[in-house]
């Protein structure tokens, strides 16, 4: 499982403060802690900074590239912010995200063609949020050829089925699981990713639902997750899940996490 650390997001109050105060030490610490806990990419999101977003993203990319040898996941729907972040990033970034929404599609695709990042591709078009597995697969059918044509290899494209709250539809969880399986079987080599927390919106004890949902996505074949790697319970279940689906031969990663005190019952 490829873990993308989600903590550096300006929608979190503590992170917004760090950004406003240009508290580089604290932000570097957040990034290092996530990497040590298992994140292969560090997501950076400064969307709540509004018109200052490009400037803050650029500063974040420079800062984190200087102090860590870990690629970033540039998380913004704004092509102007994307461009400045991709141009600044040393080595190969991940871009989160492109969608099939026509408003931004051409601009974002041009950036992908230019900078060749790994790409999170949302199952989202001009029709708005997908209503079914087929809605999602129709978007994949549109985005995949364009991304391949832009020079991105299948294994560098991560489709995000978009998770909706099960409180608004009892089949919304299953649809995501079925979409993952369908993408993996129809488009061999292409990868999948998602965040978890939307699934539990509107219900109490959200962490419980997020954790159970994560385990289910692993069983469905999920390749990457945008999560908080400092959530020890979540990560413990992730290690366990990888053993159970045969992704952790001889349970080596599980046993290492155990020896290092990273497993919590």
By the criterion CB under 8 A, which residues form the site for a second copy? Answer: 166-167, 170-171, 173-174, 177, 199, 203-205, 207-209, 211-213, 215-216, 218-220, 236-237, 239-241, 243-246, 248-251, 254-255, 258, 263-265
Return the number of the residue (151 or 169) whose C-beta is nearest a second copy: 169
Which residues, at least 6 apart from 144, have a Cβ–Cβ distance to it below 8 Å? 121, 157, 187, 190
CB of 104 to a second copy, least distance (A): 31
- Closer residue to a second copy (CB): 80 or 208: 208
Alpha-carbon separation of residue 104 from 14, 43, 100, 110, 249 (angstroms): 30, 21, 8, 10, 42
Shortest reach from residue 218's CB to a second copy, in Å = 8
Nearer to a second copy, 188 or 204 (CB): 204
- Please identify, using beta-carbon distances, which residue of 112 and 209 lies nearer to a second copy: 209
Q: For residue 112, give the nearest of 129, 99, 131 by alpha carbon.
A: 99
Whole-angstrom distance, CA of residue 242 vs CA of residue 116:
30
CA distances from 237 to 37, 211, 229, 232 (A): 14, 7, 11, 9
Quote the DSSP letter at residue 205. Answer: S
Cα–Cα distance between 241 and 247 in angstroms, integer?
9
- Among the listed residues 154, 149, 99, 102, the one whose alpha carbon sits nearest the alpha carbon of residue 121: 99
Q: How far is the CB of 36 from a second copy (least distance, A)?
A: 20
Q: Least distance to a second copy from the beta carbon of 37, Å?
A: 17
Residue 11 C-beta: closest distance to a second copy, Å = 21
CA 43 – CA 6 distance, rounded (Å): 5
**Choice between 152 and 214, CB closer to a second copy:** 214
Query: In terms of CB distance, is 114 or 264 closer to a second copy?
Result: 264
CB of 182 vs a second copy, minimal distance in Å: 15
């Amino acid at each position: 499982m490829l873990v993308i650390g989600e903590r550096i997001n300006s929608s979190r109050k503590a992170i917004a403060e760090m950004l406003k105060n240009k508290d580089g030490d604290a932000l570097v610490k957040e990034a290092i802690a996530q990497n040590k806990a298992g994140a292969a990419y560090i997501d950076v999101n400064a969307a709540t900074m509004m018109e200052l977003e490009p400037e803050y993203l650029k500063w974040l990319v420079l800062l984190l590239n200087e102090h860590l040898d870990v690629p970033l996941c540039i998380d913004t729907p704004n092509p102007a912010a994307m461009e400045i972040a991709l141009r600044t990033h040393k080595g190969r970034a991940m871009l989160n995200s492109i969608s099939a929404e026509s408003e931004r599609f051409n601009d974002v695709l041009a950036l992908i063609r230019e900078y060749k990042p790994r790409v999170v591709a949302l199952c989202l078009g001009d029709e708005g949020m997908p209503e079914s597995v087929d809605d999602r697969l129709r978007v994949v059918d549109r985005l995949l050829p364009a991304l391949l044509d832009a020079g991105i290899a299948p294994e560098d494209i991560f489709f995000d089925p978009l998770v909706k709250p099960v409180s608004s539809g009892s089949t919304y969880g299953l649809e995501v699981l079925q979409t993952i399986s369908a993408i993996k079987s129809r488009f061999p080599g292409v990868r999948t990713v998602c965040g978890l927390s939307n699934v539990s919106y509107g219900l109490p004890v959200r962490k419980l639902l997020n954790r159970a949902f994560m385990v289910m996505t692993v069983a469905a074949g999920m390749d990457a997750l945008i999560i908080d790697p400092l959530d020890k319970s979540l990560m413990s279940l992730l290690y366990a899940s990888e053993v159970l689906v045969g992704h952790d031969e001889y349970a080596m990663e599980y046993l290492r996490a155990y020896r290092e005190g990273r497993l919590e019952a």
